[in-house]
Amino acid sequence: MTVETKKETYLNYVNGAWVASASGETKPSLNPANVNDVVGYVQMSTKEEVDQAVTQAKIAQKAWKKLSGNDRGAFLYKAADVLESRLDEIAECMTREMGKTFPEAKGETARGIAILRYYAGEGLRKVGDVIPSTDSKALMFTSRVPLGVVGVITPWNFPVAIPIWKMAPALVYGNAIVLKPAQETAVTAAKVIECFEQAGFPPGIVNLVTGSGSVIGQALTDHPDVNGITFTGSNGVGKGIGQGCLARGAKYQLEMGGKNPVIVAADADIDLAVESTIAGAFRSTGQKCTATSRVIIEAAVYETFKEKLLAKTAEITIGNGLEEGIWMGPSASEGQLNTVLHYIEKGKEEGATLLAGGNCVTGEGYDDGYFVEPTIFDNVTSDMTIAQEEIFGPVIALIQVNNLEDALTIANDVEFGLSASIFTSNIQSMLSFVEDMEAGLIRINSESAGVELQAPFGGMKQSSSHSREQGEAAKEFFTSIKTVFVK
Ligand SMILES: NC(=O)C1=CN([C@@H]2O[C@H](COP(=O)(O)OP(=O)(O)OC[C@H]3O[C@@H](n4cnc5c(N)ncnc54)[C@H](O)[C@@H]3O)[C@@H](O)[C@H]2O)C=CC1
Ligand SMILES: O=C(O)CCC(=O)C(=O)O
C-alpha cells in the first residue's frame, strides 16, 4: 500500500505550537531499505530550545496536575482515537524510517493505541492506601503526586510504542513531558506528537525537541527543572544519564541492553523451539532489547535443532518491509549495519563457526539499503565476544551443553538480565528456570521477545536501573508517594 508522506521538515512542538529551531540546521531521515528515499528532514535543535520547552512544561503542569485523573485520561482516549485513524500512515512512516516490516509496524502502532487506552483508564484507579496508625484517633493514608516535568529519551527500535509507553503514564499521573526521540526515527515521533496535538492536550503539556543526544538528551539530563528522566537505549548512554540525574537529585529510569538466552532442553518441542528462536532472534532484524541472541541446547537434541533451525532460516525473505512477502527488513542505519558486521567478524576471529549468513545482501533492490543476512554461529563458547555483548542484529550463537544445570550457568554468565526463555516439557526444569534465571522477563515455551503492556517490564543486572515500566509498575516511577497523617 502507498500513503503519501511529504518530505517536509519536522519542527519542534513546544507550548502547543510547531516551531523552527534557531540553529537552522536539519538532517535528512533516510529509509534504510533505500537511502535515496528521504522520509523527512529533522531539526538539529539547541540547548536553549530545551530550556524553552522545559520552562513551558513547568508552567503548564501546574494546572494539569489539578485536573482529575479521569479528565487527564480523556485526553489519552482522544489521542488513541487519532492514532487509530492514522494507523496505516504512521506504520508506513515507521517502516520507511527504520526498516521493520509493515505488518510489524502496524502491530506496534496498534500496541501504542492499546497502551494509550490502558493508561487512560488508569486515571480512575486508586492512588493510595489507608494504613492503620498506632494512634487510634488518627487517620493515616498515602497519596501520590506527579514528579513535575519528565524528560523522555527514546531509541529508534520501537519509535511508536516506547515513546507512548513512557508518555502515557507520565501524563495520566499529572506530569508534563518533553520528548527527545532518536534522530533516526524523529519523523515517526513527530507524527505521534501530532496525534497528541489533535487530541487537544493543553499547550505545554506535551513537547517535542529533536536533535543530537549529546546536545538535547544531555540538556534534559542536566536541566534543574526536569524532575525525572525515563530512558531506553544503550548501556553507555543510560549510565551517563543515571549519573547526571543522581548528581542533581532527579529521578531516573533506565531500560538498556540484553543478551537474552533461549535454553532448549532435550525434552523440548523442537519445532516450537525452532520457530520461537527464529521469531525472537530475527524479527525486527534482531533490533529488540529482548531479542534472542544465544541459544543453549542440550547435546541430545543439538544436531536435530540445528538442522531444523538452518532449514527454517533459509526460508526467510529479506527486503524492503513495505513489500508483500518480506519477512525481514534491513538494519536501521549504516552505523547499526556496521556494528552487526563487526560482531560477525569478531565471531569468526575468535573461532566460532559460521553456519549461515554473515554477509550483506547485495544486488538489485538491496545495494541502496543496509541489508544483512540472518546469521548463525556454531561452536560458540560463553567467553566469546558474540556470546557476551549485545549485537542488536540478526545474529545468534549456538552453544552446546551436557545438561540443564550447565545451560543455566551459561545463561546467567553475562552482565545483562533482561529476558530469557526455556523450551521444555518438564515441570521441574521450568520451576528451576523461574527460580534461578537472572532475568526480569521469564518465558516458558515462548520466544524471548514479547512484552504485554499491562505487565511490568524491565531487567536485572546491567539491563536496567532496576525500576520497571508499563502496567501498574509505571506508577512507581512517574509519581512520588506522600504519607499523610491526620488528627
Ligand atoms: N535497549 C534498547 O532497547 C536499545 C538498545 N540500543 C543499543 O544501543 C546501541 C546504539 O544505539 P543508539 O541509537 O546509538 O542508542 P543510544 O543509547 O545512543 O540512543 C538512545 C537515545 O539516547 C539519546 N542520547 C544519545 N546520547 C545521549 C546523551 N549523552 N545524553 C542523553 N541522551 C542521549 C539518543 O539521541 C537517543 O534518543 C545499539 O546498537 C544497541 O546495542 C539501541 C536502541 C535501543
Ligand atoms: O520486545 C518488546 O516488545 C519490547 C522490547 C524493547 O523494549 C526494546 O527493544 O527496547
What CA–CA distance (Å, rounded) separates 18 from 301? 58
Task: Give tens-digit pLDDT for 374-386.
Answer: 999 999 999 999 9
* Mean pLDDT calculated for residue range 96-106: 98
pLDDT value at 58 more than 60: yes
Sorted by sequence, the CB contacts under 8 Å of residue 207 that are 6+ apart come out as 12, 13, 14, 15, 53, 56, 57, 176, 177, 178, 179
Asked if 22 and 136 touch (Cβ cutoff 8 Å), the reply is: no
462 alpha carbon to ligand 1 midpoint, in Å?
Answer: 15
Task: Give tens-digit pLDDT for 31-40.
Answer: 999 999 999 9
Ligand of minimum distance to the alpha carbon of 234: 1
90 alpha carbon to ligand 2 midpoint, in Å?
Answer: 19
Q: Which residues have any ligand 1 atom within 6 Å of their CB?
A: 153-157, 180-183, 213-214, 217-218, 221, 232-234, 237, 240-241, 255-257, 289, 336, 339, 390, 392
Task: Give tens-digit pLDDT for 163-204.
Answer: 999 999 999 999 999 999 999 999 999 999 999 999 999 999
What CA–CA distance (Å, rounded) separates 142 from 308? 55
* Mean pLDDT calculated for residue range 435-442: 98
Asked if 185 and 10 touch (Cβ cutoff 8 Å), the reply is: no
* Mean pLDDT calculated for residue range 332-346: 98
pLDDT value at 1 more than 70: no
Average pLDDT value for the chain: 97
378 alpha carbon to ligand 2 midpoint, in Å?
Answer: 26
pLDDT value at 2 more than 90: no
By C-alpha distance, which of 109, 121, 113 is closest to 79?
A: 113
pLDDT value at 96 more than 60: yes
By C-alpha distance, which of 483, 484, 417, 410 is closest to 448?
A: 417
The rounded percent of the chain whose pLDDT value lies above 70 is 99
What's the order of all strands across the beta sheet hosting 26-31?
9-10, 34-43, 26-31
What CA–CA distance (Å, rounded) separates 430 from 422? 7
Query: Best mutation site among 45, 166, 237 for ligand 1, i.e. most ligand atoms within 8 A of its Cβ?
Result: 237
Which pLDDT score, from 0 to 100, does residue 196 have?
98
237 alpha carbon to ligand 2 midpoint, in Å?
Answer: 17
Question: pTM, whole model, 2 decimals?
Answer: 0.97
Ligand of minimum distance to the alpha carbon of 441: 2
Shortest-distance atom of ligand 1 to CA 391: 41
Ligand of minimum distance to the alpha carbon of 283: 2
| Alpha carbon nearest to ligand 1 atom 24, residue | 213
Q: Which residues have any ligand 2 atom within 6 Å of their CB?
A: 157-158, 162, 232, 288-290, 449-451
Task: Give tens-digit pLDDT for 128-146.
Answer: 999 999 999 999 999 999 9
By C-alpha distance, which of 452, 472, 468 is closest to 173?
A: 472
* Mean pLDDT calculated for residue range 25-52: 98
Which pLDDT score, from 0 to 100, does residue 484 have?
98
Confidence of residue 89 (pLDDT cuts 50, 70, 90): very high
Which pLDDT score, from 0 to 100, does residue 473 have?
96
The rounded percent of the chain whose pLDDT value lies above 90 is 98
For 134, 234, 352, the CA distances from 264, given in Å and listed in that order, are 54, 28, 20
The H or E element that residue 167 is part of is helix 161-172
Cell, residue 132: 492503620
pLDDT value at 5 more than 70: no
Which pLDDT score, from 0 to 100, does residue 7 have?
72
Cell, residue 478: 512517574
Which pLDDT score, from 0 to 100, does residue 4 have?
46
By C-alpha distance, which of 407, 464, 122, 89 is closest to 264?
A: 407
288 alpha carbon to ligand 2 midpoint, in Å?
Answer: 5
pLDDT value at 216 more than 70: yes
Domains, in order of start, for the chain: 9-256+464-486 (3.40.605.10), 260-452 (3.40.309.10)
* Mean pLDDT calculated for residue range 200-224: 98
Confidence of residue 310 (pLDDT cuts 50, 70, 90): very high
* Mean pLDDT calculated for residue range 321-330: 98
3-state secondary structure of 366: coil
Q: What is the dihedral of CA 87, 90, 96, 98, to 10 degrees?
A: -100
* Mean pLDDT calculated for residue range 481-485: 98
**Residues assigned a catalytic role:** 255
By C-alpha distance, which of 446, 449, 451, 450 is closest to 468?
A: 451
- Other C-beta atoms within 10 Å of 179: how many? 27
| Alpha carbon nearest to ligand 2 atom 4, residue | 451
